[in-house]
């Protein structure tokens, strides 16, 4: 079944991969009418760039093959989950696949627990639709458990969690059977119903599958299916005090929703026999969903486990889940990175079965490539140094024409005010420069971009000997179209007109960790936090940036890409540095290697 979205998907579709090959073959063989995938985060934290890989894969396949993908809250663990996370997950998925959502995102009607999908029509009232929740299936999962008990395939076990572990054995050593393994069906039914009714305390009993305590696959050694937790659940309230385990809930949720391809990361490969075992022994509809595994994304210079991200947030080592230094989707969004850049990154890295470490430089490359295409060029000075043009009339303002985006002629040009008093970057002047320093120096010349060539005549210092102002003369014929416009100087620098400039707080971000693999480094990962991951400077920007828009991206010429931060308020501009123009880390590495 190919639809319009299939054709249009071609533009963003990468080279094939082994999962797409399987899907294509299943469709060609007529095994499914329509492909159904799912993205099943546990709402116990915010989504990160690793989840983006899974989102792009699952929603991408739905989009390319005319199918649908369910966003499902995998919410079987009430004590770690929260509605805050449910809401953030939904917002982040919507953001990442904006533009695809109407074709591929499967919703359910509020209150419907059947797993039935509703495709969102543009006209549909969004408040009647919501994502899927595994917890909506608790009743059905409970009834399936009763069937397993009746078939003699599940039993109530009174071993403590520690004893269950000890009895399980090890990969090279068979486990021991629980003394409760041979309870009668009647006794198991009675005990399980009383577990549900709340008669027993947490941890006192579990429901376990009766499979094989000597299986070489540890996951088949009578895995726990249900545990007792007297806890309020964010979606089902206090309706339940027994909660299904991931392995039991996941395959059955897939089946209830009619998922065809259940795509997860490689750690779950060893769970697959259990996934299949549960479905084989229950009267579930055909065809049954099948699980496929791919390598998770690991990215250098960051951490991605939700547990570690939570520690950074909780201990206030970052400013929140959306701190622009975090690899969370909320952080990347606030940083100014576009969904297109993240999708293009996911396409670059592809989908394989081999675990590895992806260099964060690959992500940075995708970000730069995207921003170079879309960002509007502007002039701004991060660390201002005053320049006075002694031969330029006081009180005069002229407008010079500057290009908005050389990559996109349609972006046009704008007028930037120029006057006698300017700011240039402190770095663009050196009083005692080394050889081959071509920017401004005493007696030297440089071009001010889009304007004149200037010459440094005098250096003014304060009482501490710091350079505070440069007195320069301008070659007033050297602007474009002027008689000396063709005169060559070795460098062109950026500037702003001092009386017209708008001040702004600039937040300059760098990598959050100083080592490529903080997870693998010795000791506590937090000791590798980069102390310079955030610097704040007061900049002076060309006046058009007073009207900066949250959805626009800007390149401050010669410096970096920036976007407005939500902390901005009328009269108070705050910008985030998205990324520098060049990779300064690889330069550092080369310097250190010499
Ligand atoms: P964490 O270990 O960070 O807590 P998780 O795997 O427990 O992550 P889930 O919320 O269960 O997080 O993940 C939802 C989906 O996203 C799963 O299908 C999982 O396989 C996938 N996923 C999670 N992390 C990554 C990653 N780094 N790369 C690719 N897919 C991932
Ligand atoms: Mg998980």
- Paired strand residues for 446: 454
Q: What is the DSSP string of 92-103?
A: HHHHHTTTTHHH
Tens of pLDDT, residues 448-502:
999 999 999 999 999 999 999 999 999 999 999 999 999 999 999 999 999 999 9
Catalytic residue status for 42 = yes
Tens of pLDDT, residues 134-148:
999 999 999 999 999
**Are 518 and 541 spatial neighbours (Cβ–Cβ below 8 Å)?**
no
**Are 91 and 59 spatial neighbours (Cβ–Cβ below 8 Å)?**
no
* Closest ligand 1 atom to Cα of 263: 18
331 pocket-lining for ligand 1 (C-beta < 6 Å): no
| Token pair recorded at residue 359 | 């260099």
Question: What are the structural domains of the chain?
Answer: 19-129+249-349 (3.40.50.620), 138-247 (3.90.800.10), 380-494 (2.40.240.10)
In this prediction the pTM is: 0.93
Residue nearest to atom 16 of ligand 1 (CA): 51
308 pocket-lining for ligand 1 (C-beta < 6 Å): no
| Token pair recorded at residue 360 | 């964060």
Query: Which are the contacts of 290, defined by CB distance < 8 A and separation ≥ 6?
Result: 260, 261, 262
* 492-493/380-381 β-pairing: unpaired
CB count within 10 Å of CB 185 equals 13
179-185's contacts with Cβ under 8 Å and 24+ in sequence apart are 180/155, 180/156, 181/155, 181/157, 181/210, 181/222, 182/155, 183/155, 183/156, 185/149, 185/150, 185/152
Q: How far is the CA of 441 from the centre of ligand 2 (A)?
A: 58
Which listed ligand is nearest to 307 at the C-alpha?
1
Active-site residue identified among 80, 176, 181, 296: 296
For residues 242 and 154, give the distance between their C-alpha atoms in angstroms, rounded to a whole number: 15
Tens of pLDDT, residues 73-86:
999 999 999 999 99
Q: Please state, rounded to an integer, the average pLDDT across all residues of the chain.
A: 94
Catalytic residue status for 507 = no
Q: How far is the CA of 550 from the centre of ligand 2 (A)?
A: 33
Find where tokens 């017209």 sit.
500
- CA dihedral (448, 451, 455, 459) positive or negative: negative
- CA dihedral (61, 104, 119, 66) positive or negative: negative
How would you label 109-127 residue by residue, b for 16+ Cβ within 10 Å and e otherwise? eeeebebebeebeeeeeee
pLDDT score of 92: 97
Residue nearest to atom 4 of ligand 1 (CA): 306
- CA dihedral (21, 22, 23, 25) positive or negative: positive
Residue closest to 253 by CA, chosen among 293, 284, 292: 284
Tens of pLDDT, residues 92-151:
999 999 878 777 888 999 999 999 998 776 666 667 889 999 999 999 999 999 999 999
Question: Phi, psi at residue 218, to the nearest 5°?
Answer: -50, -35
Instruction: Count the residues in the chain.
Output: 594
Tens of pLDDT, residues 388-441:
999 999 999 999 999 999 999 999 999 999 999 999 999 999 999 999 999 999
410-415-419 Cα angle (round to 5): 155
């Amino acid at each position: 079944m190919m639809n319009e979205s299939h054709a249009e998907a071609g533009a963003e579709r990468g080279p094939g991969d082994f999962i797409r090959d399987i899907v294509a073959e299943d469709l060609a063989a007529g095994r499914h009418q329509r492909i159904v995938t799912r993205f099943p985060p546990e709402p116990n934290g915010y989504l990160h760039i690793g989840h983006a890989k899974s989102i792009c894969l699952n929603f991408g396949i739905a989009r390319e093959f005319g199918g649908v993908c369910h966003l499902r809250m995998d919410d079987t663990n009430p004590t770690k989950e929260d509605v805050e996370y449910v809401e953030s997950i939904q917002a982040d998925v919507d953001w990442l696949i904006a533009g695809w959502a109407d074709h591929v995102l499967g919703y359910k009607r509020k209150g419907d627990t059947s797993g039935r999908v509703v495709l969102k029509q543009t006209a549909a009232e969004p408040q009647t639709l919501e994502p899927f929740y595994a917890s909506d299936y608790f009743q059905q999962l409970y009834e399936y458990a009763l069937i397993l008990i009746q078939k003699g395939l599940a039993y109530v076990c009174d071993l403590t969690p520690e004893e269950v572990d000890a009895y399980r054995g090890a990969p090279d050593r068979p486990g021991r059977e629980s003394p409760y393994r041979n309870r009668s069906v009647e006794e198991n039914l009675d005990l399980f119903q009383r577990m549900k009714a709340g008669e027993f305390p947490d941890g006192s009993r579990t429901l376990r599958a009766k499979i094989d305590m000597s299986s070489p696959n540890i996951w088949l050694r009578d895995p726990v299916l249900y545990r007792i937790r007297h806890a309020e659940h964010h979606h089902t309230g206090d309706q339940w005090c027994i909660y299904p385990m991931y392995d039991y809930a996941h395959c059955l949720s897939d089946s209830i929703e009619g998922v065809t391809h259940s795509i997860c990361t490689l750690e779950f490969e060893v769970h697959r026999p259990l996934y299949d075992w549960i479905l084989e022994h229950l009267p579930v509809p055909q065809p049954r969903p099948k699980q496929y595994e791919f390598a998770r994304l690991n990215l250098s210079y960051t951490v991605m486990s939700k547990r570690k991200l939570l520690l950074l947030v909780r201990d206030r080592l970052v400013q929140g889940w959306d701190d622009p230094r975090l690899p969370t989707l909320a952080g990347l969004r606030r940083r100014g990175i576009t969904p297109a850049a993240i999708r293009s990154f996911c396409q670059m890295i592809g989908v394989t079965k081999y675990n590895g470490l992806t260099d964060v430089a690959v992500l940075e490359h995708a970000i730069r490539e995207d921003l170079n295409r879309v960002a509007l060029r502007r002039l701004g000075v991060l660390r201002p140094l005053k320049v006075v043009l002694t031969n330029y009339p006081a009180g005069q303002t002229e407008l010079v024409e500057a290009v908005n985006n050389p990559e996109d002629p349609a972006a046009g040009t704008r007028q930037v005010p120029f006057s006698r008093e300017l700011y240039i970057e402190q770095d663009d002047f050196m009083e005692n420069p080394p050889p081959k320093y071509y920017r401004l120096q005493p007696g030297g010349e440089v071009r001010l971009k889009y304007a004149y060539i200037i010459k440094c005549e005098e250096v003014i210092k304060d009482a501490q000997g710091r350079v505070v102002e440069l007195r320069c003369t301008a070659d007033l014929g050297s602007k474009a179209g002027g008689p000396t416009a063709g005169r060559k100087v070795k460098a062109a620098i950026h500037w702003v007109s001092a009386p017209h400039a708008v001040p702004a707080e600039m937040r300059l971000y760098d990598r959050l960790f100083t080592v490529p693999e903080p997870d693998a480094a010795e000791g506590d990962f937090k000791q590798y936090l980069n102390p310079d991951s955030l610097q704040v400077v007061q900049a002076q920007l060309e006046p058009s940036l007073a009207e900066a828009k949250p959805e626009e991206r800007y390149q401050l010429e010669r410096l970096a890409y920036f976007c407005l931060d939500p902390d901005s308020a009328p009269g108070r501009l705050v910008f985030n540095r998205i990324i520098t123009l060049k990779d300064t880390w690889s330069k550092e590495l080369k310097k250190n290697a010499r």
